[in-house]
Amino acid sequence: MSEMAAADPEGIDGVRMTWNVWPRTKVEASKCVIPLAASIAPIRPHQDIQTLPYAPLRCKCSAALNPFAHVDFSAKLWICPFCFNRNHFPPHYSMISETNLPGELYPHYTTVQYTLPPAPLHPQNFTGSAPNSHPPVFVFVLDTCMINEELGFAKCALKQAVGLLPDNALVGFVSFGTQVQVHELGFSELSKVYVFRGSKEISNDQVMEQLGLAVSGRRAPGPQKGAVQNGFLGSNSGVTRFLLPASECEYILDSLLDELQTDQWPVTPGNRQSRCTGVALSVTAGLLGACMPGTGARIVALVGGPCTEGPGTIVSKDLSDPVRSHKDLDKDAVPFFKKAVTFYEGLAKQLVSQGHVLDLFASALDQVGIAEMKVAVERTGGLVVLSESFGHSVFKDSFRRVFEDGEQSLGLCFSGTLEIMCSKEIKIQGILGPCTSLEQKGTAVSDTVIGEGGTTAWKMCGLDKSTCLTVLFDLSPGDKSSVPGNVNPQLYLQFLTSYQNSEGQTMLRVTTVTRRWIDTAVSSEDLIQGFDQETAAVVMARIISFKMETEDGFVANRWLDRNLIRLCSKFGDYRKDDPASFTLNPSLSLFPQFMFNLRRSQFVQVFNNSPDETAYFRMLLNRENISNAAVMIQPSLISYSFNSLPQPALLDVASIAADKILLLDSYFSVVIFHGMTIAQWRNMGYQNQPEHQAFALLLQAPHDDAHIVIRERFPVPRLVVCDQHGSQARFLLAKLNPSATYNNANELAAGSDIIFTDDVSLQVFFEHLQKLAVQS
Amino acid sequence: MAAFVPPGAHRPGGNNSNQSPSAQQHPPPPNFGNSPAALADNLQNMNLNRPHSAPRPSPFSQPPPPYSFSGPSPGYRPGSQLMARPGPSPPNAITRPMGPPSGALPGVAPGRPMAPPGTRPPPPGSLPSSMGSHMGLSPRAPAFTGGQATAPPPPGVSPRPLTTGILTPPPPGPTQAGPVSNGPPVGSGPRFGSPGGMSSSVPPPTGPSSPSAPAQVPSMGPFMTGPPPTSMPAAPPFSGQPPFSAQPPFSGQPPFSVPPPPAMGPPQGSPFAAQPWQMRPDQMVRPPSGPGSAQPPQMYGMPAHLPNQSMTSISPGMAPTGASVGGPSKIDPNQIPRPIPSSAVILHETRQSDQANPPPPATSDYIVSDTGNCSPRYMRCTINQIPCTADLLATSGMQLALLVQPLALPHPSEEPIQVVDFGETGPVRCSRCKGYLNPFMRFIDQGKKFICNLCGFTDETPRDYHCNLGPDGRRRDANERPELCRGSVEFVATKEYMIREPMPAVYFFLIDVSMNAMQIGATAAACSAISQVIADLPEGPRTMVGIATFDSTIHFYHLKRALQQPLMLVVPDIQDVYTPLQSDVIVPLSECRQHLELLLESIPTMFQNNRTAESAFGAAIKAAFLAMKSTGGKLLVFQSVLLSVGIGALSAREAEGRTNISAGEKEAHKLLQPADKTLKTMAIEFAEYQVCVDVFLTTQSYIDIASISVVPRTTGGQVYYYHPFSVLSDTAKLYNDLRWNITRPQGFEAVMRVRCSQGIQVQEYLGNFCKRIPTDIDLAGIDCDKTIMVTLKHDDKLPDGSEFAFQCALLYTTLYGQRRIRVTNLSLSVTSMLSSLFRVADLDAQFTCLLKQAAMDIPSSPLVQVREQPVNTCINILLSYRKFCATVSSSGQLILPEALKLLPLYTLALIKSTGLRPDGKIDDRSFWINYVSSISTPLAIPLVYPRMIPIHDLKTREEEGSIVPSSIPLSSEHISDGGIYLLENGDDALIYVGGSVDSGILQQLFGASTVEEIPSQFVLQQYDNPVSKKLNEVVNEIRRQRCSYLRLRLCKKGDPSGMLFFSQLVEDKNHGSMSYVEFLVHIHRQIQTRMT
């Protein structure tokens, strides 16, 4: 397991790169096959990170002062490592000396955090006296087109969530089905809801006007009686009407939820329920836009089925029309897909401009349209959880985690902005991950764009401590002009992330990293030493996912194979045309196996999944850290037996044994697999007999480990406990290298298992790889 | 004349000619002897008229000095009536002596007969003096009868009862039988709810004869007094008749200072309860008694008289040459024709001697006995004979049209319409024209076939319906089958008449809660009215209720019981509305009563600080409609400000019109047209889904009724207008209007068609409905107050002397979910004589047509033209009469047909009415137009020629006996500065206080010692003194008569309000128009010009 293997491969900086030494030229870089990329975790907590209670010094190039700056203590100035400009220290740094350094200059504090005075992001609202912290805002959007039982689960989860929220958190509530109902929680006389038609696209202005939040709607002169209560300085009537502090609205919301029925509009037989997810979200976005523009707010959507009404529709109401599959997407036989995606892109844009987050909790046996909504969730940095039912622990536990405090807390933060500074030879192609380009042009912007690119700054409306982004770099083409002698041996990258933390404070984190340039013409040895196989595998997975989604006619397997062969050809040791002579440096040796598993993974073999699942997997792939993402690609397998401590096992069918328990962690699911014998013993109840306490312990161990994994992870993985030959065993078998299939079953020892597949096994894969890599 | 009770009063003249029933009754004794006298009188009248006021017996004028006019008019009446009736009376007289009947009668008649018996005899002989006295008596009686029709039975009615009783003699035995038999039908057929009450009440009277009767009588009295309104309403509460419980309305009324509401309630069921027995006996009896023998003779006698009397000529006193100058001066204002109050309840048989009997005046108090033709309440023709050619009609200058009020309230004493159930086969109909079986279809071939009286086709009689013919050629069972002997009958509709289950009774209330509505208190008033009215809604699971409020958004309320409190659902999209819930917006009343009450209580506070000034009325009704679409029903909207946003948004056109006067001159009437088609389109859709919209406009500003009213008009609803709205004085009216709206007899999802015999076809329908195909009209809602005018057109020559039939069929759903077909038949004889046409012209119907047509023209033609139209019509009619019928050749005399002698007066009043007055406010005029479009015949004349009564000397005249004092002419000559006057037009009322009124009276009536101290926001209080009590009684009685809670406005001399009052005096020279005398001169001159 990554946790065990490397205690903290990301260190204080939370940065991992595919290459830790960089070739100097673009040509050399392209020969490296694996692109130059960094995976950054912008606000990953680390015990060594210092928080400085002032604003950072910024160079003219806007890079922040950092330990790599050259400081001239006598002249009281510093030289920016990015632009080489000289900057004078301001008067309050006058005490600086070699022995009296400010925090940001301590050499090992390459990452520091500043607390900033609250800066009004949108000066037009909250005139002047902005409260020192904005309470977090949660608007719950609940689907009511469900069976009563499901709705009951969802309501229950909601109630629990509201109870967990901090008292000052503002809460809003929207329910929807055939129509959208915006509940005015602040209306005391009786329950009041605004109802919007589900079939009609509604503009933001209309939403505001119709909710009485537009300026014109409030034009009635005279004292605004009633708006003054609530401590918001009479700021915004929408806040007092639709959003209420959790402490005040908990009761209201409880009773409201108690009375909330499933959608009452009739459904004609043979049809799907009419569900207007799209309008519901856009109305909610409009509501937040009117009430809380520019401050952190989350739309928490609980969706129980596909959108069939109005904009964002993904499937017709007719039940004989199935929800689109990958095959349909491939054939372009998806009448609703493009329109829905366009709609959600618009929604994403709106949310980003307002700085609001869309979280999606989808619980349904059928698809709900995550593939279409993905853009809105990902661009706003929202959370996404897909499960089968609101009663399932995957949803229940995940949902609770979102609102829980303490260790388990996700550390939800808002309004993040990421800026990247880099040495001038370096260009940025873009970012894969939950963020949106701010279109801020600069010299460091590459012509090639991948993902959210064309900028040096990105918006992350929502981010949390595990949020992770992949930055793809490029080098300036043939920019050799700089005087060779003067060449800086180090390259620098600085990531500046400002955000509003869950307490409402504005923070700025500055991470500055340096890496060594290397002249690859001399030798590739150093280069190979700087290769991070795990990161490279994950980056490849992210890139291939991105390409599969965006490039028409992209053949994933071929692209992967070609790149792998190129990599092996370049860095492998072999004699030409002699496969047997092929060896790989240990720094590279695991990579082919990653690629083998990637080829077999859900990211590439999408046809086993629905488009929704694929979108879901990919979103998580993009936002998780390298270790976790690596697990998604290549699950970890631990074997438990009487004779030894738990130990990692080969991800191979051969690891199955009758007297072993296997624990598979494929990120999305955690599988505990009992060998046949173990299962029999357990069924006979040996574990309950005192003399077989060891057996009880053996049975218990994988559960304990599984729970450690589950507790740490968001979304909570599905726990599958199964026995050899049981139906659920497929969760394990699907991930194992099919070294034993029915084709060679007769060669196997008793007690082992086979997989019924025609897929090639790792061995075969390797043979072919070697053969192709050594070809001249 | 005008002096007496308005209802009956107007027609005095007409009555004479028609030989009003009441007259007949009185005369009974004199019968034959009288008839000659009558003739003489008539002759006199004619002569007299010309010369001067001659027609009116001098005696009269003398006795009632104060009201000189009133005096005379009565005189006429009596005379003529007496004359006319003589025929019928004889039998009565004979019968009276009969012990048995009398016994039964007593109960009924108690009050009425008492006085008359004694007095009557004299009449014949002592016409002059005794007449005077009679008059006095009778007038009172009428007043009672008119107003309280049933209740006061004693005074006014008495005469009839006696007569009727007498007639009935045969009934003694029969009576009971009759009643009983009726009873059952009644129960089933009786309209809304009252049935039970009816039947129950009926039996007692008949059986118990005297003992029981007395008992009831007393009860009656109480009714009268308590709930002034009709005895009907009152009856229920007092008597505690269970059946009526549904109508408790009365009890609800207390809240308001005035009991007026009762009026509302009464009309429905109660009427039956109170008087039923009286009348019934009569009616019941008759048919059995042998229509053949006794009555026919009388009938014949009658007709004869009529023709003779047909004309009354009046000379304005003009010099022959029309010395215009001198003319007027010569006119004795006291001599010109004026309405004469009818003194007594008239008994009217719709057919006598196998001929249609011209109906009594619409405003009089009459009791109908359906002897083949329908009651004139349901259907009236402008001329009671049909001209055989279009040319003849054209020559007469009159219009041929029907006024149909299919659900009109019957007189409490009338036999309710019987319900006939043909079982699964449904009613028998002509297979060609689909006309319904009626008394005028002729069975031939031993009853195996019948000939349709509408299209002439010969149909096979259905086998199970076959019956042999009697010697008289009628089916033997004709008298047992209502469809064969009654002009009005109701068939139970079969499945074939339903495209879905009959709809439930759905009431959806929509309330304006915009800033303005809140501030003027309209919302609170509406909520309180609704919350009180809830109790009056029919019980049972079929009653569904919904409620919504609106300002610039629409707020629905989820009223399901499970919720702790109602849930408000706001629909904010007012360009493209929708309903926020599929179900539960409209829920059965029984499931949401508490929520509803709670909600209505909290709405006014909830929106207390509402700052939204905009109103999305259009979107709101659309949204409510969507919620009701699946069922249909009544949508009651309370609106206070101009529809300014959302669907169909309007602009303040009135202001534009004012600022742009030059353009406005030509196009002024455009402001009376709907601003655009949006609402019309919506309204048509509403009608299609059976949603009937009533709009209550509680406003203080321009609200563009012209545009808004399209919705109620198209959907069979109604506009109520409270302007300027005042919480103080309008809250009670709002409640009572709403209550009447909901509790009055009504039907849903109706379709109506009028069929005619061959030779004439329906040209057009006019009223509040939606028309999608040429032959039928669709009425999402139809109630007892709505009248539809049907214009007719000849397309062929009719055979002279034949019978011509009209049949109106109304298919509707009752409040209780039964599908019914109400069929009303009217068969009139065809004539080729122009003079006959004038003789049987129906002034009320004629004028109502004139009024409706004028109203219809206002929005589309320049006002000058519209004002000319009725005058021209009037002149043309009189000209034609003068040319072809008048025997007198003196050119200096204006000769008026007796039946139409008041036409000039009403025409003048019409062009001075709100709608035709050039200085009227746009909204006032729009409202007027709209009010007129569905106005019923009895209310048409009072609208333009209000009734005015002095109320400063109520006490002194108490001995008169009728609750409402006799009216006085609408002329300022009759206004004294020391007097207080009440003027009412059936919709609104003014109280005028002169400048030098005795402070004692003021103190007694208003609790203030000077005029200035009376608050201008006036509310009638009842103080503990007889005068005040009396005034309240009077007002309540009027309210009951009009089925309307008249809002009282106080007018003080010298105030603008005083001007308002004087502007109502149509006989004066005002509004830039002529005085009555001048107008007569004008007409006369026009006629003379055209003659030459």
Q: Is residue B852 scored above 90 in pLDDT?
A: yes
Q: What is the chain A residue with the closest CA to B569?
A: A193
> Are the CB atoms for A175 and A207 separated by under 8 Å?
no
Of B552, B571, B581, the CB nearest to A264: B581
| pLDDT value, residue B751 | 94
Closest CA to B141 of B119, B126, B122: B119
Confidence class of residue A478 from pLDDT cuts 50, 70 and 90?
low
Closest CA to B849 of B397, B488, B410, B454: B397
Closest CA to B107 of B220, B238, B183, B195: B220
Q: Is residue B159 scored above 70 in pLDDT?
A: no
Confidence class of residue A557 from pLDDT cuts 50, 70 and 90?
very high
- Least confident residue range of A116-130, B420-434, B950-964: A116-130
Output the DSSP codes for B773-811: STT-EEEEEEETT--EEEEEEE-SPPPTT-EEEEEEEEE
Give strand ranges (E) for B470-599.
Answer: 488-492, 505-512, 543-550, 554-558, 567-571, 586-588
Residue type, A599: R
> Are the CB atoms for B76 and B19 separated by under 8 Å?
no
Q: What is the CATH number of domain B505-744?
A: 3.40.50.410
DSSP summary character for residue A376? H
| pLDDT value, residue A672 | 95
In angstroms, the separation between the Cα of residue A453 and the nearest Cα of chain B is: 39
- Cβ of A229 under 8 Å from any chain B Cβ? no
Tokens of B780: 């999402």
Confidence class of residue A751 from pLDDT cuts 50, 70 and 90?
low
Q: What is the chain B residue with the closest CA to A183?
A: B569
- Cβ of A51 under 8 Å from any chain B Cβ? no
Q: Is residue B596 scored above 60 in pLDDT?
A: yes
pLDDT in tens, B749-765: 999 999 999 999 999 99
Check CB contact under 8 Å for A197 and B573.
Answer: yes
Q: In whole angstroms, what is the distance from residue B24 CA to residue B347 CA? A: 8
pLDDT over 90 percentage in chain A? 53
Confidence class of residue B956 from pLDDT cuts 50, 70 and 90?
low
Q: In whole angstroms, what is the distance from residue B667 CA to residue B650 CA? A: 18
The residue among B568, B585, B608, B615 with the most chain A CBs within 10 A of its CB, best to mutate, is B568
- Cβ of A617 under 8 Å from any chain B Cβ? no
What count of residues does chain A have?
776
**CB atoms near residue B215 (< 10 Å):** 14
Q: Which residues of A touch B611 (CB under 8 A)?
A: 218, 220, 222
| pLDDT value, residue B750 | 94
Confidence class of residue B378 from pLDDT cuts 50, 70 and 90?
very high
Residue type, B12: P
Element (H, E) at B144: helix B127-148
Confidence class of residue B343 from pLDDT cuts 50, 70 and 90?
low
| pLDDT value, residue B922 | 87
Confidence class of residue B1054 from pLDDT cuts 50, 70 and 90?
confident
Confidence class of residue B888 from pLDDT cuts 50, 70 and 90?
low
Q: Domain B346-409+748-908: state its class.
A: mainly beta
Output the DSSP codes for A274-315: P--HHHHHHHHHHHHHHH-TTS-EEEEEEE-S---SSTT--S
Of A194, A225, A259, the CB nearest to B570: A194
Check CB contact under 8 Å for A193 and B569.
Answer: yes
Check CB contact under 8 Å for A190 and B565.
Answer: yes
Q: Which residues of A touch B552 (CB under 8 A)?
A: 217
In angstroms, the separation between the Cα of residue A251 and the nearest Cα of chain B is: 14
- The residue-averaged pLDDT of B535-545 equals 88
Element (H, E) at A88: strand A86-88
CB contacts < 8 A (A, B): 81
Q: Which residues of B touch A255 (CB under 8 A)?
A: 564
Of A202, A210, A220, the CB nearest to B515: A220
- Least confident residue range of A196-205, A299-308, A549-558, B335-344: B335-344
Q: Which residue has the tokens 């809830």?
A: B534
**CB atoms near residue B399 (< 10 Å):** 19
| pLDDT value, residue A720 | 94
The 3-state DSSP class for residue B163 equals helix
| pLDDT value, residue A7 | 53
Q: What is the chain A residue with the closest CA to B566?
A: A190
Q: Is residue A507 scored above 60 in pLDDT?
A: yes
| pLDDT value, residue B107 | 36
Q: In whole angstroms, what is the distance from residue B567 CA to residue B353 CA? A: 66
Closest CA to A272 of A323, A325, A340, A318: A318
- The residue-averaged pLDDT of B987-991 equals 89
Query: Of the segments B20-29, B279-288, B1064-1073, which one has the largest average pLDDT value?
Result: B1064-1073
Confidence class of residue B988 from pLDDT cuts 50, 70 and 90?
confident
User: Per CATH, which fold does B946-1065 belong to?
Assistant: Severin (3.40.20)
Q: What is the chain A residue with the closest CA to B563?
A: A259
Q: Which residues of B touch A209 (CB under 8 A)?
A: 572
Check CB contact under 8 Å for A192 and B568.
Answer: yes
Q: What is the chain A residue with the closest CA to B608?
A: A225
- Cβ of A265 under 8 Å from any chain B Cβ? yes
Output the DSSP codes for A116-152: EPPP-SSTTSS-S---SSPPPEEEEEEE--S-HHHHH
Q: What is the chain B residue with the closest CA to A225?
A: B609
pLDDT in tens, A184-218: 988 877 888 999 989 888 888 888 888 888 654 34
Domain with CATH 3.40.20.10 in chain B: 946-1065
Q: Is residue A227 scored above 70 in pLDDT?
A: no
- The residue-averaged pLDDT of B835-848 equals 93
Q: Is residue B1027 scored above 80 in pLDDT?
A: yes
* Cis amide bond preceding B376, omega within 30: no
- Cβ of A191 under 8 Å from any chain B Cβ? yes
| pLDDT value, residue B6 | 38
Q: Is residue B197 scored above 60 in pLDDT?
A: no
- Cβ of A744 under 8 Å from any chain B Cβ? no
| pLDDT value, residue A465 | 87
Check CB contact under 8 Å for A195 and B609.
Answer: no
B382 CB contacts (<8 Å, ≥6 apart)?
A: B398, B399, B400, B401, B402, B403, B841, B842, B845, B846, B849
Predicted complex ipTM = 0.83
| pLDDT value, residue A520 | 67
| pLDDT value, residue B437 | 93
In angstroms, the separation between the Cα of residue B650 and the nearest Cα of chain A is: 19
pLDDT in tens, A283-302: 999 999 888 887 888 999 99
- The residue-averaged pLDDT of A677-699 equals 92
**At CA B603, angle to CA B600 and CA B605, rounded to 5?**
125
In angstroms, the separation between the Cα of residue B518 and the nearest Cα of chain A is: 14
pTM over 0.95: no
Q: Is residue B72 scored above 50 in pLDDT?
A: no
Check CB contact under 8 Å for B573 and A202.
Answer: yes
Q: Which residues of B touch A225 (CB under 8 A)?
A: 609
Q: In whole angstroms, what is the distance from residue B142 CA to residue B4 CA? A: 8
- Least confident residue range of B827-836, B939-948, B1016-1025: B1016-1025
Question: Could you give all domains of chain A from N- to C-terminal order, each with its CATH number?
Answer: 15-56+108-114+412-477+489-522 (2.60.40.1670), 137-211+238-402 (3.40.50.410), 531-624+762-775 (1.20.120.730), 635-736 (3.40.20.10)
Q: Which residues of B touch A222 (CB under 8 A)?
A: 611
Check CB contact under 8 Å for A191 and B573.
Answer: no
Tokens of B485: 């002997």
Interface residue ranges in chain B relative to chain A, Cβ cutoff 8 Å: 515, 552-553, 555-556, 562-573, 576, 578, 580-584, 599, 602, 605-606, 609, 611-613
Give strand ranges (E) for A383-425.
Answer: 384-387, 413-422
| pLDDT value, residue B798 | 93
Q: Distance between alpha carbon B4 and the CA centroid of its chain, in Å?
A: 18
Distances (CA, A) of B129 to B64, B86, B121: 12, 20, 13
Closest CA to B140 of B1037, B1046, B1067: B1037
Confidence class of residue A130 from pLDDT cuts 50, 70 and 90?
very low
Closest CA to A14 of A535, A576, A685: A535
Check CB contact under 8 Å for A259 and B562.
Answer: yes
Output the DSSP codes for A513-574: EEEEEE-TTT-SHHHHHTB-HHHHHHHHHHHHHHHHHHSTT--HHHHHHHHHHHHHHHH-EE
| pLDDT value, residue B652 | 81
In angstroms, the separation between the Cα of residue A205 and the nearest Cα of chain B is: 12
Intra-chain end-to-end CA distance of chain A, in Å: 38
The residue among A187, A193, A253 with the most chain B CBs within 10 A of its CB, best to mutate, is A193
| pLDDT value, residue A435 | 93
Q: Which residues of A touch B613 (CB under 8 A)?
A: 220
> Are the CB atoms for A44 and A14 separated by under 8 Å?
yes
Q: In whole angstroms, what is the distance from residue B1039 CA to residue B737 CA? A: 11
Check CB contact under 8 Å for A192 and B563.
Answer: no
In angstroms, the separation between the Cα of residue A312 and the nearest Cα of chain B is: 20
Q: In whole angstroms, what is the distance from residue A189 CA to residue B568 CA? A: 10
| pLDDT value, residue B583 | 78
Beta bridge partners of A462: A414
Check CB contact under 8 Å for A190 and B606.
Answer: yes
| pLDDT value, residue A445 | 92
In angstroms, the separation between the Cα of residue B974 and the nearest Cα of chain A is: 53
- The residue-averaged pLDDT of B596-609 equals 90
Q: In whole angstroms, what is the distance from residue B908 CA to residue B894 CA? A: 16
pLDDT in tens, B612-631: 888 999 999 999 999 999 99
| pLDDT value, residue B667 | 66
Check CB contact under 8 Å for A189 and B602.
Answer: yes
B898 CB contacts (<8 Å, ≥6 apart)?
A: B13, B14, B16, B17, B45, B309, B310, B311, B312, B839
A667 CB contacts (<8 Å, ≥6 apart)?
A: A620, A624, A628, A631, A632, A635, A713, A717
Distances (CA, A) of A246 to A170, A250, A253, A409, B1076: 6, 6, 9, 18, 78
| pLDDT value, residue B1052 | 87
Check CB contact under 8 Å for B573 and A265.
Answer: no
Domain with CATH 3.40.50.410 in chain B: 505-744
Q: Is residue A524 scored above 60 in pLDDT?
A: yes
Q: Is residue B1047 scored above 50 in pLDDT?
A: yes
Q: Is residue B725 scored above 60 in pLDDT?
A: yes
Q: Distance between alpha carbon A776 and the CA centroid of its chain, in Å?
A: 41
Q: In whole angstroms, what is the distance from residue B339 CA to residue B73 CA? A: 7
pLDDT in tens, B247-282: 333 333 333 333 333 333 333 333 333 333 333 333
User: Side-chain half-sphere of B859: how many Cα atoms within 13 Å?
Assistant: 21
**CB atoms near residue B887 (< 10 Å):** 9
Tokens of B29: 């004794």
Q: In whole angstroms, what is the distance from residue B68 CA to residue B384 CA? A: 33
Q: What is the CATH number of domain B419-485?
A: 2.30.30.380
The pair phi, psi for residue A562, each rounded to 5°, is -60, -45
Domain with CATH 2.30.30.380 in chain B: 419-485
Q: Is residue A406 scored above 80 in pLDDT?
A: no
> Are the CB atoms for A672 and A721 separated by under 8 Å?
yes
> Are the CB atoms for B170 and B288 separated by under 8 Å?
yes
The residue among A175, A182, A195, A242 with the most chain B CBs within 10 A of its CB, best to mutate, is A195
B142 CB contacts (<8 Å, ≥6 apart)?
A: B4, B5, B8, B9, B22, B156, B341, B342, B343, B344, B345, B365, B962
Tokens of A585: 């440096």
Beta bridge partners of A637: A664
Q: In whole angstroms, what is the distance from residue B977 CA to residue B993 CA? A: 8
